[in-house]
Structure 1
Amino acid sequence: MIIGVDIGTSLTKASLITRSGDSLLTATKESVVNQMPGGMVEQDFDDVLATVRYVVREVAASADDIEGIAITGQGDGLWLRDADGRPVRNPISWMDGRGSRIVSDWSRGGRDSVAHRVYRSTGSGIFPGCAAPLLKWMADHEPENLDRAAVAGYCVDAVVGALTGEITVDASDASLPFLNVRTREYSLDALEACGIGDYRRLLADPAPPGHVFRLSRSGADQLGLPIGTPLTAGPFDLPACAFGSGVTEPGDGTLVVGTTLGCEVLSDDPVIDPDGEPAGMWLATPHPDEYMRVMPAMVGTASIDWLMNLFGRRAWHVGELLDQSPPGANGVNALSFLSPSGERAPFVDPNARGQLSGLSLDTNPADIARALCEGIAFAARHCLEAGGLDGELSACGGGMKSAEWAQIFADVVGREIHLPIETGVGARGAAMAAWDALGDPVDRAEWKQRRRVFTPDPQRVEFYDRGYTGYREQLDSARALWSGR
């Protein structure tokens, strides 16, 4: 068995995963997310590491035949560490908005803008919570911390460093925004375009595909496991969820309905359209000839949590509200861009903000809830189209616990949605990669069998096709307003 660990933004999970894909035991532990003025969002490294220790020990206590540990987790952000692997400052979360002004400046100038130059080099867009604007912000405001740092990494490699003593990074984490995913080498052009070429020294070279680490004495003591226990790192949570949900062939896609909305499509050819909108990302995967085209929208269950709080209800009530309002929400429409840092896919705009329209004195909470859920589903369709989906679509994430909302996604996208019965698909995807690295791959066809299917209703597909056209028109108008801020 493999212990799969998924280090989320606010919750760390560990599951004891069998070769058939079953999770025999799962432990969870919350971590602290510090929301500060000015859109700043940070975490405490020691707190995050403590959650990993707790959940691994919890599940390891019930198993005798652990083959290894597979770690995945949140991507992006900036986790600065010194040569001993200790944090130079608190890690900056991918949700952080302090780089919004930088991204706005980098987006001006059309094809000559910094954003376009980076996109043409790597195929990745730039958003406030990714490493590029955060490194630039640090250079402008905290250069002494960059001078003290030995590595500018991410959550997964920071934890791996604490458990193995090695400075490394998975290629999926390294992909955004500086990596040429074909060569798995950093683009100096992208770094220079952002004005941070001098900080190439802080970027660890990606570990080779299939690399296996070993627990150091310190790591073994922390987790209560033998020294030398195999450990694999990555891919980070978005591609891990794709593989754990059942993506196997180029063209297959996954919809991750979590705090944010991860829309991703597997590809064997990372084509960069030089005239395309500089958004989304191309990610390297554990397989050298496969790549993930990801459109990680900032909308998701956080929007629903916000709305339910306004209504004095709990998040799981959303299904009840959806049943109380018809498709089209009685004329109410929503743009669900509620993140303080704006949007990052399938377009980048730090000024993007949410909207509700079509309200009247007859509007009730159910109409608003349905409009918001439909708006998020329209955003998912927009992202999946931009990502090139043309195969099977799977889904996962907390938002898919609502069968009513899952059906809306199927009707809006117009495709069957395959939802794994097993939860913790990120840890499952990491475990798949671990068995590959250990030279004993699992039967992927067997893992795909246990999934629930949501089939689109033809009449609602036609109805939502018209609604999607209206959504895109409303979005175009809103983007014109945002650009005037």
Structure 2
Amino acid sequence: MIVGVDVGTSVTKAQLVARDGRTGPAHEARSTLYTLPGNRVEQDMDEVIGTVVTVVRAAVADAAQLAPDEPVEALALTGQGDGLWLRDARGRPVGRALSWMDGRAAPVLEGWSADGTTDAVFRRTGAGMFPGAAGPLLAHLAAHEPDRLAAAETAGYCVDAITQRFTGERTVDASDASVPFLDVSTRTYDDEALDLCGLTDWRGLLAEPAPPGALFGLLPKVAAELGLPAGLPVSAGPFDIPACGFGSGLEKTGQGNLIIGTTLACQVLAADPAPGSGEPAGMVLATPYTDRYLRVMPAMIGTAGLDWLLGMLGVRIEELDALLAQSPYGAGGVTALPFLSTSGERAPFVDARARGRLDGLSPLTGRADLVRALCEAVAYSARHCLETLGVAGDITACGGGARSGEWGRVFAGVLGRDVHVREDAVGIRGAARVAWDALGTAPGTPASSFARVSRADPDAVAFYEDGYHRYLDTLEKARQSW
């Protein structure tokens, strides 16, 4: 068995994955997200690590019931990416962690966009930066809190912060390190990219990426806290987006994956790390497999915007499918732009000023039309991202939004192809797959089974083809006015 852990932005989950694919109960613990003036969003590293201890202990207790004849083979970690988790030489936090949702570095990014820095870095590493990425955050701290950087030994991420506390190893997974300074083909940092961002003097804060297949040993004291044996192998990554991709069964180049969660992440498996082209947005990630890369567009939109709208309308999420079924294709003439994050948008374009809107309202507009318009707009954005990435194969979907059958049919219609929906701890399954591969004992069972297939209705495909191009026209005009 593998103990899989997924450390989300505010919820940490853990459960056992047996070699035959069965999973134990999911255990959850919440951590605090501090939203502060100045567009700051922070987390307490010690609190987050405490949630990991809590859920792992609970998951380990399920071992006898799930597979009494199987030993626990490894602890597999995945979790939120980006942001900045500063640590001293002992792995202790140097101030609160800066979340990937943090917006304090937006002025830095605006300056870099104006002077060509973001474009130049993108051409070198394939990483489009946004305010919550490590590059702008480091530059902001270098300008405003240099003493804080001087007190740190490591500027890392969520998963490697936990890894250091659990194993004593100063390391980072190559997927996390990919944004924005890594040459993913060589898995070494691009010194020119660091220099372009004015961060050469802080190069020493970046831990060297762990080689593919790296495992680390659980420290005795931590092992006792977790209820696991000392020295148990720990697999530290990839972070949650690639973990969901591999947990969804990405194996062939050209296959795509949608993570319809709080935000919408679109990714495509590729055989080469093509240099960045087009607008400087998205990212190219190194993966646990040396001959495979992930091209990713992690949009800021997703179920968070839908939750806001449902809350405004006094509608429960359980009513979503019924509402979508009540409104026809095109939502009775109502259209939307779905950019409802205070941080703006980061894929397939970057603009901190991006904001949402609803058009075509009339006295005949009902709640179902408003909800459908927003859901269609999110699907249009997904197509925009996937087309930019060059998807050519099957598409899978996972995440909370993928549980809606009606919304799944909207995605299928907009994308013009069937969408294979996967459920049941997809990120944890992806982390477990990577751990088993590193151990050399891959169980040979599918990473996850299809829950269902959302079919592309021909009438919907024809309707949404026109709707998608109208969406792009509206978006282009809106971008000029933000």
Sort the TM-score into its range (normalised by shorter chain).
Answer: over 0.9
In the other structure, the counterpart of 1:76 is: 82
CA-CA distance at 1:21 after TM superposition: 2.3
- In 1: Cα distance, 2:128 partner to 2:276 partner: 12
In the other structure, the counterpart of 2:100 is: 94
- In 2: Cα distance, 1:435 partner to 1:152 partner: 28
2:272 equivalent to 1:266: no
- In 1: Cα distance, 2:101 partner to 2:133 partner: 9
After superposition, give the CA deviation of every residue in 1:444-477 in whole Å (9 maximum; x if it has no partner): 5x34554411110011001000000000000000
In the other structure, the counterpart of 2:440 is: 439
**Is contact 1:103-1:350 (8 Å) kept?**
no
2:467 equivalent to 1:480: no
In the other structure, the counterpart of 2:57 is: 57
CA-CA distance at 1:36 after TM superposition: 1.3
What TM-score, normalized by structure 1, do the two folds share? 0.96
In the other structure, the counterpart of 2:110 is: 104
In the other structure, the counterpart of 1:429 is: 430
**Is contact 1:331-1:358 (8 Å) kept?**
yes
* SS of aligned partner of 2:86: strand
* SS of aligned partner of 1:206: coil
**Is contact 2:35-2:41 (8 Å) kept?**
yes
2:214 equivalent to 1:234: no
- In 2: Cα distance, 1:306 partner to 1:436 partner: 40
In the other structure, the counterpart of 2:388 is: 386
After superposition, give the CA deviation of every residue in 1:160-199 in whole Å (9 maximum; x if it has no partner): 1110011110000000010000000111111111111111
Trace 1:178-327 onto structure 2 (pairs within 5 A): 178-274=181-277, 276-327=278-329
* Larger deviation, residues 162-171 vs 24-33: 24-33
After superposition, give the CA deviation of every residue in 1:307-332 in whole Å (9 maximum; x if it has no partner): 11111222332222212211101111
Residues matched between the structures, number: 476
**Is contact 2:430-2:447 (8 Å) kept?**
no
CA-CA distance at 1:273 after TM superposition: 4.3
In the other structure, the counterpart of 1:160 is: 163
Trace 1:24-35 onto structure 2 (pairs within 5 A): 24-35=24-35
CA-CA distance at 1:108 after TM superposition: 1.3
- In 2: Cα distance, 1:314 partner to 1:107 partner: 40
**Is contact 1:20-1:447 (8 Å) kept?**
no
What letter corresponds to residue 269 of structure 1 in structure 2?
D
In the other structure, the counterpart of 1:334 is: 336
Compared CA separation, residues 213 and 455, structure 1 to 2 (3 A): same
- In 1: Cα distance, 2:163 partner to 2:85 partner: 12
* SS of aligned partner of 2:178: helix
**Is contact 1:316-1:402 (8 Å) kept?**
no
**Is contact 2:127-2:276 (8 Å) kept?**
no
* SS of aligned partner of 2:98: coil
2:460 equivalent to 1:454: no
- In 1: Cα distance, 2:325 partner to 2:451 partner: 24
After superposition, give the CA deviation of every residue in 1:403-428 in whole Å (9 maximum; x if it has no partner): 111111111111111112x4110000
- In 1: Cα distance, 2:232 partner to 2:276 partner: 43
In the other structure, the counterpart of 2:362 is: 360
- In 1: Cα distance, 2:413 partner to 2:431 partner: 30
- In 2: Cα distance, 1:218 partner to 1:476 partner: 56
- In 2: Cα distance, 1:127 partner to 1:166 partner: 29
In the other structure, the counterpart of 2:68 is: none
What TM-score, normalized by structure 2, do the two folds share? 0.97
- In 2: Cα distance, 1:452 partner to 1:461 partner: 19
Gaps of 5+ in 2: 65-70
CA-CA distance at 1:94 after TM superposition: 0.4
Gaps of 5+ in 1: none
- In 1: Cα distance, 2:405 partner to 2:7 partner: 26
- In 2: Cα distance, 1:150 partner to 1:448 partner: 39
Compared CA separation, residues 46 and 448, structure 1 to 2 (3 A): closer
Trace 1:105-120 onto structure 2 (pairs within 5 A): 105-109=111-115, 113-120=116-123
* SS of aligned partner of 2:83: coil
In the other structure, the counterpart of 2:351 is: 349
- In 2: Cα distance, 1:453 partner to 1:321 partner: 21
- In 1: Cα distance, 2:450 partner to 2:261 partner: 21
